[in-house]
Structure 1
Amino acid sequence: MASTGAKGTNEKEQKNVVHQNAIWRETVHKEQHNQKLYIEFNYNPYKKPITVAGKPNEKPSKKEERGDEVFLQVYKKSQQTPNEKFEYPLTEAQEIGWYHSMQMDKDARADARLHHPRSFSEITKYMEAAWRQKEQENLQQ
């Protein structure tokens, strides 16, 4: 009979404070490395408020033209995938699927771990036909 000594159960339950602190420092370092302070705010030039129309022969100012360029840059940046924006995943949720390009290669279909084609056996073919027949009967009623 195995005895449940204090040493055996406490080793699994105790958390290593040094390792947890190292993980926390690494997380904080990642966050600070990618943190940016945005102090320049722009309006959406395509949703301008309705105002009195300008003079017919007036040319747009440099500020308005610059606003369009800045807006387009911000819009393009917002449409990028996280892989294009950052060097590495910032959260644990981003780690899932971060290296998806590896899975989408042409050779991925040859890899049995990634490619699971739909297959039919005699039983699945029979049940599919039975379900179709049942659906047709329900539609006719």
Structure 2
Amino acid sequence: MAGRCAERDAVCEARLLSERVQKELRGQRLHTQFGLNPWRRVHVITKKPMSWHDHIEEPADATFLNIIHHAALEPTKKYPEPQTESQEIGWNTTPLIQVDRTDRRLHFPRRKTENTN
């Protein structure tokens, strides 16, 4: 292999290099706009107590705060209906009938007897 590299001339090396650069540039994209994923939780990192730039008061962006608060909500408050099959289990949490503690048919409290303490 070392012998083959030594036999190549400068024109062949330049052509191979330019072809490689073109292939690499074809797969790259330039991103100029960046944003925060509102569906991913944000981990808060503690600040340094003596840094001057952490104590500067900045106005809060209302739309950004709304996106963050909306992302932190549970699915029943975010969506009107379940989005997946697993969300269907437990989606409706309201009881079908009112709980009546005086009704002996539906309420079985624990009782202390001489056998159970």
Pairwise same-fold verdict (TM > 0.5): no
* Larger gyration radius, structure 1 or structure 2: 2
Superposition TM-score tier, normalisation by shorter sequence? 0.3 to 0.5
| Higher normalized helix content (fraction of residues) | 1
TM (normalized to structure 2)?
0.40
